Chains A and B, each alone.
Chain A
């Protein structure tokens, strides 16, 4: 398997235990620049921008999950910080402000493990989905008291007084509660063929639940399973479908599972997005419409699945990380590149990061590791031109096809030594040996010809 060694990284000191979900990348201050937000078990929340720590907040309790998104549905990104003891903090930094300000604190059920911000019911509004260690998933939506407050108002508030005055103007309202039979892994959103979202909740042993949160009338054939349990409430109907994924050997109920949906395939097909499922025993699967496209087995404990376009070709690569720092990058064709961080990892995420703030450079792909040694590493020089390594032969061959051999040979006088050899090499059929020699001659033609075999620098 191909392996690479990324070198250039930013290193931040950040003490304490970082939970798996309390590390995320996003546009914190609504300037279009991507920052890293990390929270630890002792209640510190740090925001990193560029090569500096931008802000640190203390005393928030045991931070178990952090999310960045428009949770207030006012067109501005907010930071949602959820603590294990049941406090949910929302911080906001409208454009023009220099600091995150707390706009809301609310008591919610304790033991949050995973957090998802997204539109789960296709109503255009962002919902907050929290997964708890007691096998419960809850969804929340922000409701303003009175008139909804828009982006302009929040921005003007940020310029004149303080966004903290938004406190008490709204609250998170619980929409749904789903209870599961087993401990849950990750929670993710996946869009189907009609661009309708469904919530995927990972269950042990590489299985998952699919939850639909919009009325039945829009249901596609996908959801017509007889065992689906529909239920309606005032926010609309939901259904939960269990998907076992047909690998019998994988039904080990002790193996925790991670899931990640909405993987960008690049081509706009009408079949919906595929999603990735990874288990702690080292299986990674790409699943599309309940069909396992491929599965990949490694002997490392995979605990995090992320997606990132590392090659820059418009489709996502799947990046999975294990507790011992082994990172696998796979494209949708299952080509794999490995990278080993030589430290144990407590949290991992990947995404785009702005390396130099205030200079309008686009954010670049990064891998972020929180280690058990009180360090956070951001690997930023990770672009790979392609997932596969190829040699030059096919390119030269296609290049040669553009040449008219007869004409070229005519130009070379067959009497002279060097031209004679060149003419010989240009005579079809082009074997691999000839192609190699041609490349060698055209690149390093100093010593190649007389010795017939190339002198290697080691012989000098």
Chain B
């Protein structure tokens, strides 16, 4: 924590919530941050950098999304990339619009924004190869007109429930990305694009993600999906009443089957669930073959009882829960994230509380220990650990109701780490050669 430098602060015109930050991956490899606020204004933040200069200029801009009615409030926002590169973004925004008659439930919508020109460019790529090439926006650190184009191109879907968290996942069998949306009707909804009708429709969970077919006891607050191997998908959902459900599915071609499922009743709302892995030792672990040995853990942020990390969930299910000490003694925990703040190659667990605290936990051979805390001026709504400076080093982003904090690793500390790691790697390869 002491190696983090306050790099930038973006003030918000009105407050957001725990679902109102989404990152977009730019072609440069840096991330752009989209921030939604309750009063319908959406800001984008990124760093402007040029090839010849390492100086970073923060750029904050308002993105004018169309089709957001005056009286509406933004609930959640999410975005993904279509295609492998470029700036073909799809942005989803959920809204609620209070009804004039206070007795009736509010109207709710999912607005999906994407640049349709890009779509047609790609679909007619064969016959329009030359023209589409010319229309590709420049991808350097400069402006990103594609987001503005997308923001003007809306497809609206009326929802029959109040939306909660909006996220997305890939259906690998069809190479299609679908929206996953928690609803007040105690269900996780799957929304997919109907290309023939040019609109979004609700898909049957049984056909796509069977783990979300069952009705939950209370509205799901957070859903997290992770792919532990090429054909195994883990998903976890935390509900308002403290119900936690985790499912393991195998998928093969178009077939997706539930192989195992676990459930647990905790106390109080579950504000966030996240899958993550800790490397067992400091070495390269990149290949698909050894991903099987990777141990997946599940961070469960609880607002009343202590938050927990369920260790090795892909092997042991929810049986091995480790409490995060003193995580319940502050105020309600609103968000959780994993980040390698000390750059030792192994992630720490971060929790953000309503009581303005950021808690940092470190795995110490058999338990989680509170290593650091940091006070922020406001409640912590959301935490992210992403590269926004475009140099490969990630930054810690903290969203509060008043603004977004960007904390950068102290560059001397990074240099120190890179130096020691490079030396270590070279020694390892040397050792290997000697053995050979």
A positions within 8 Å CB-CB of B:
1-8, 340, 342, 384-385, 388-396, 399, 403, 408, 411-413, 417-419, 422, 432-433, 435-440, 442-450, 453-454, 456-458, 460
Residues B288 and A450 in contact, CB atoms below 8 Å apart: yes
Chain B residues, CB < 8 A from A388: 55-56
Contact residues, B58-104 vs A (CB, 8 A)? 58, 84
Query: B137 on the interface (CB 8 Å rule)?
Result: no
Residues B285 and A446 in contact, CB atoms below 8 Å apart: yes
Residues A456 and B25 in contact, CB atoms below 8 Å apart: yes
Residues A391 and B288 in contact, CB atoms below 8 Å apart: no
Chain B residues, CB < 8 A from A422: 425
Residues B286 and A389 in contact, CB atoms below 8 Å apart: no
Bound complex: CA A391 to CA B6 (Å): 13
Contact residues, B1-50 vs A (CB, 8 A)? 5-11, 22-23, 25, 29, 31, 47, 49
The segment from B198-206, B261-269, B273-281, B317-325 that touches chain A is B273-281
Residues B422 and A450 in contact, CB atoms below 8 Å apart: no
Q: Which residue of A lies closest to B141 (CB)?
A: A432
Query: B186 on the interface (CB 8 Å rule)?
Result: no
Chain B residues, CB < 8 A from A450: 286-288
- Which of A385, A395, A399, A446 lies in contact with B345, CB distance below 8 A? A446
- Which of A403, A411, A448 lies in contact with B286, CB distance below 8 A? A448
Query: B214 on the interface (CB 8 Å rule)?
Result: no
Query: B125 on the interface (CB 8 Å rule)?
Result: no
The number of A-B residue pairs with CB atoms under 8 Å apart is 169
Residues B340 and A444 in contact, CB atoms below 8 Å apart: yes
- Which of A5, A408, A437, A460 lies in contact with B392, CB distance below 8 A? A437
Bound complex: CA A3 to CA B60 (Å): 11
Report 24 cross-chain contacts, Cβ distance below 8 Å, ordered by A residue. A4-B8, A5-B405, A7-B376, A342-B402, A384-B6, A385-B410, A388-B55, A389-B58, A389-B408, A392-B389, A393-B54, A395-B411, A411-B430, A442-B417, A443-B392, A443-B418, A444-B345, A454-B29, A456-B23, A457-B276, A457-B337, A457-B385, A458-B23, A460-B224
Residues B345 and A445 in contact, CB atoms below 8 Å apart: yes
Query: B130 on the interface (CB 8 Å rule)?
Result: no
Bound complex: CA A413 to CA B425 (Å): 13
Bound complex: CA A389 to CA B414 (Å): 14
> Nearest chain A CB to B168's CB is how many angstroms away?
9
Residues B419 and A411 in contact, CB atoms below 8 Å apart: no
Chain B residues, CB < 8 A from A454: 29, 387
Chain B residues, CB < 8 A from A3: 8-11, 58
Apart from A411-B426, A443-B392, A445-B284, list 18 A-B contacts with CB within 8 A.
A5-B403, A391-B56, A391-B391, A392-B411, A395-B415, A399-B419, A403-B422, A411-B429, A412-B429, A433-B29, A435-B392, A443-B394, A443-B417, A445-B421, A454-B29, A457-B337, A458-B386, A460-B224
Bound complex: CA A458 to CA B279 (Å): 18
Given contacts A450-B286, A460-B224, contact A439 B392 (CB under 8 A): yes
> Nearest chain B CB to A319's CB is how many angstroms away?
16
Bound complex: CA A236 to CA B394 (Å): 63
Bound complex: CA A450 to CA B284 (Å): 11
Residues A417 and B287 in contact, CB atoms below 8 Å apart: yes
Q: By CB atoms of chain B within 10 A, which of A392, A395, A433 has the most?
A: A392
Chain A residues, CB < 8 A from B414: 392, 395, 439, 443
Bound complex: CA A179 to CA B251 (Å): 88
Residues A439 and B337 in contact, CB atoms below 8 Å apart: no
Bound complex: CA A393 to CA B54 (Å): 7
Bound complex: CA A413 to CA B402 (Å): 52
- Which of B8, B11, B421, B429 lies in contact with A442, CB distance below 8 A? B421
Residues A460 and B393 in contact, CB atoms below 8 Å apart: no
Q: By CB atoms of chain B within 10 A, which of A3, A395, A413, A450 has the most?
A: A3
Query: B233 on the interface (CB 8 Å rule)?
Result: no
Bound complex: CA A460 to CA B296 (Å): 11
Pick the 3 closest A-B CB pairs, nearest first: A439-B392, A391-B391, A440-B392
Query: B256 on the interface (CB 8 Å rule)?
Result: no
Query: B381 on the interface (CB 8 Å rule)?
Result: no
